[in-house]
Homo-oligomer: A and B are copies of this chain.
Amino acid sequence: MQKDITIYDIAKQLQLSPATVSRALNDHPAINHNTKAIITSKALELGYRSNMFASNLRRQRTNTIGVIVPRLDSAFMSTVLSGMEKVANEGNYNLIISQSLESIRKEVANAKTMFDSRVDGLLVSLASDTENLDHFSTFFKKGIPLILFDRVMTQNYCTSIVIDNLKAGYDATNHLIEQGCRRIMHVSGSLKRNVYADRLKGYRLALLDHGLPGGRELERANNLTRQDGLDIAEYIKSMPNPPDGLFIASDFCAVTCMGALKQSGFSIPNDLAVVGFNDDPVSLVIDPGLTTIHYPGQEMGEIAAQSLINHLTGLLRLSTTNTILLNYELIVRGSSQRYS
């Protein structure tokens, strides 16, 4: 546990001033090439590493980005995080990651921690019961940029990165209609969240456009867990007039529901055509493969992080009302393909 090397040590050994050393190490233009070379080599020799705290304290910024996600243990989120980590790492930023566990209470606490950690910026995907962005007001006040991704809130303070969930919901439903479905059910999650609310809207709109029946009997909202998938299967089996199309806002839930229905003798896609959402790896595991909406988690993470970094470095000053819309793609697989 020996002492750290500082710029003073280097300065002393080289008979230079600490200031010069500091500048050289930061590649300051106004430093002689020679001395710069001498200093960097000496630094290497002594195993010098810059003290981020001193530097942060002095510069009043941290090169750290805070991330708050609903859950870490989700296939989609982990691809998003993977993308963020990649970009952050390349941009010489650290990531502080925390999860709200779908609870506003924890989200508030996380926000506070992030604030106290003095992150340079924040990337957030909202918990399912978050109603407003008040807990981020401290950030807004201090001009710390906040970018929302995936589960966003249409508000005028911050940039959002999303897909067009309404259109995607429409497309998913429309696809079922094209496959001949006439009675289509939709299962969504917390309607406080844009992702689910919009998909539902898209679903309704598609039905409307084609003069198909909808209504409460055909709409369910739950937490999209495994158990919810099983429950939906039970519900469908109990319906006097069961649907011939099913659009579930999450693959994992869709897949378990499908499994249960298959076991009960439903033929998929003939009795019931199914479409999920997310292109979770499981959609390829089930037989037949699950038709789904693919949207690029990795890319969403990369773009979110990159936008934030660009903003921080002043490369690209995002208007605070900006929304970045990513493309999605309907991936048709066996669970919905009646005519090939």
Binding site for B on A (CB under 8 A): 1-2, 49-54, 56-57, 62, 71-75, 77-79, 81-82, 85, 89, 94-99, 110, 113, 115-118, 141-143, 226, 252, 255-256, 259, 262-263, 281-282, 284-287, 297-298
Contact = CB atoms under 8 A, between A and B. Distances in A.
A263 B49 CA distance: 57
**Do most interface residues of chain A lie in helix, strand or loop, or is the interface mixed?**
helix
A78 B263 CA distance: 30
Contacts of A51: 57, 118
Contact of A98 (B89, B110, B256): B89
B97 A98 contact: no
A62 B56 CA distance: 13
Contact of A85 (B50, B94, B97): B97
A298 B99 CA distance: 14
A115 B49 contact: yes
Given A79-B73, A113-B89, A54 B52 contact: no
B82 A72 contact: yes
A97 B71 CA distance: 15
Contacts of A282: 281-282, 285
A72 B53 contact: no
A281 to B, nearest CB: 7
21 contacts: A50-B116, A51-B57, A52-B118, A53-B54, A54-B57, A72-B79, A72-B85, A73-B79, A73-B298, A81-B97, A82-B99, A85-B99, A94-B96, A94-B113, A95-B98, A226-B284, A252-B281, A255-B285, A256-B285, A259-B285, A286-B286
